[in-house]
């Protein structure tokens, strides 16, 4: 089984994050599962801003196409978006014939099985709006207790947390404070959303003030493995009736002429 794992962060600009993420994911997969973590060319500067998301989104779309065209032994069994705001999730499901999973959608749905209310722990307040809008789209707003923000306005500051013990402790202190606010707001399950999810998962803290802290990274990968197996059993992975309807052959042919892409 081969899983394409997509993140916004550039490997060249944030190598320590990529290394830590790959190590953690590899530690939870079943024997025989291969994971490839792919970033964008420049991403990770400030995805809380829609402007930077828009700049980096074409790289993700290009990667979706690369994943689609892989064949033979290089074929991927699932496309897994570890970006916490689930960018291009619908777009990927429209054209890929393999399972496509997003971090926020998957962890939120799983958290609903673990408790009545969940909270998100985000890097900064600016991010809160994007998450709130996505959860409303998923129909999960009523299960949301709160969105608690850490005080990390510049996402690039997270990079030091992977190499500097003092910076690491600052991030964890910010997370713990936000987690306690979430528990006080009624959350039974807490979802770290952002680069701090890797740091939190690696330190292994599983509960704070009675609220469960999920390892969303491991949760997403395990659900991806399950989705691949279900795909083999059922033969289908996504409904083509409406939201994830695939372009018909005529549109696909026009795409070659109008966009220069082979779908």
Whether 222 maps to a domain, the answer reads: yes
Q: What is the pLDDT of residue 118?
A: 98
Q: What is the pLDDT of residue 62?
A: 96
Residue 208 clears pLDDT 90, i.e. is over it: yes
Q: What is the pLDDT of residue 241?
A: 95
13 with 47, same domain: the answer is: yes
61 with 190, same domain: the answer is: no
Q: What is the pLDDT of residue 13?
A: 87
Lowest-pLDDT range, 7-16, 155-164, 195-204?
Answer: 155-164
44 vs 76: CA distance, rounded Å: 25
209 with 245, same domain: the answer is: no
Instruction: Tell me the mean pLDDT in the region 193-200.
Output: 94
109 with 211, same domain: the answer is: yes
Whether 52 maps to a domain, the answer reads: yes
Task: Look at the chain and report how many structural domains it folds into.
Answer: 2
237 with 167, same domain: the answer is: no
193 with 227, same domain: the answer is: no
- Residue 140 DSSP symbol: -
**Domain coverage including residue 211:** 105-216
Looking at the chain, the whole-number percentage of residues with pLDDT higher than 70 is: 100
Are 49 and 79 in contact by the 8 Å Cβ rule? The answer is no
Instruction: Tell me the mean pLDDT in the region 248-253.
Output: 90
Helix ranges (DSSP H) in 36-191: 50-69, 89-95, 103-114, 125-137, 165-184
| Closest to 79 measured CA to CA, from 201, 205, 187, 227 | 227
204 with 227, same domain: the answer is: no
Q: What is the pLDDT of residue 21?
A: 95
Residue 261 clears pLDDT 90, i.e. is over it: no
Residue 126 clears pLDDT 90, i.e. is over it: no
Whether 263 maps to a domain, the answer reads: no
Residue 156 clears pLDDT 90, i.e. is over it: no
163 with 99, same domain: the answer is: no
246 vs 263: CA distance, rounded Å: 10
229 with 195, same domain: the answer is: no
60 with 162, same domain: the answer is: no
Mean pLDDT over each residue of the chain, to the nearest integer? 94
How does pLDDT run across 36-76, given as a tens digit for each residue? 999 999 888 788 888 988 999 999 999 999 999 999 999 99
Domain with residue 197: its CATH number is 3.40.50.12500
Q: How many Cα atoms sit within 13 Å of 113 on the Cβ side?
A: 6
Q: What is the pLDDT of residue 55?
A: 92
How does pLDDT run across 17-39, given as a tens digit for each residue? 999 999 999 999 999 999 999 99
């Amino acid at each position: 089984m081969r899983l394409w794992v997509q993140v916004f962060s550039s490997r060249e600009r944030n190598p320590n994050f990529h290394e830590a993420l790959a190590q953690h994911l590899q530690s939870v997969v079943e024997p025989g599962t291969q994971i490839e973590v792919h970033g964008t060319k420049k991403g990770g500067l400030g995805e809380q801003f829609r402007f930077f998301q828009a700049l980096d989104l074409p790289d993700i779309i290009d990667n979706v196409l690369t994943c689609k065209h892989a064949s033979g032994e290089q074929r991927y069994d699932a496309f897994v978006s570890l970006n916490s705001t689930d960018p291009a999730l619908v777009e990927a499901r429209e054209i890929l014939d393999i399972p496509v999973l997003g971090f926020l959608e998957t962890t939120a749905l799983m958290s609903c099985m673990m408790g009545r209310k969940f909270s998100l722990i985000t890097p900064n307040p600016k991010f809160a709006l994007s998450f709130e809008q996505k959860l409303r789209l998923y129909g999960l707003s009523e299960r949301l207790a709160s969105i608690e923000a850490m005080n990390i306005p510049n996402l690039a500051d997270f990079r030091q947390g992977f190499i500097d013990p003092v910076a690491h402790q600052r991030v964890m202190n910010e997370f713990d404070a936000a987690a306690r606010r979430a528990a006080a707001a009624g959350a039974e399950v807490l979802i770290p959303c952002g680069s701090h999810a890797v740091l939190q998962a690696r330190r292994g803290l599983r509960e704070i003030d009675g609220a469960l802290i999920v390892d969303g990274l491991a949760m997403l990968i395990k659900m991806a493995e399950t989705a691949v197996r279900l795909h083999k059993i059922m033969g289908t992975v996504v409904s083509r009736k409406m939201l994830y309807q695939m372009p018909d052959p005529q549109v696909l042919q026009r795409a070659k002429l109008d966009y220069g892409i082979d779908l």
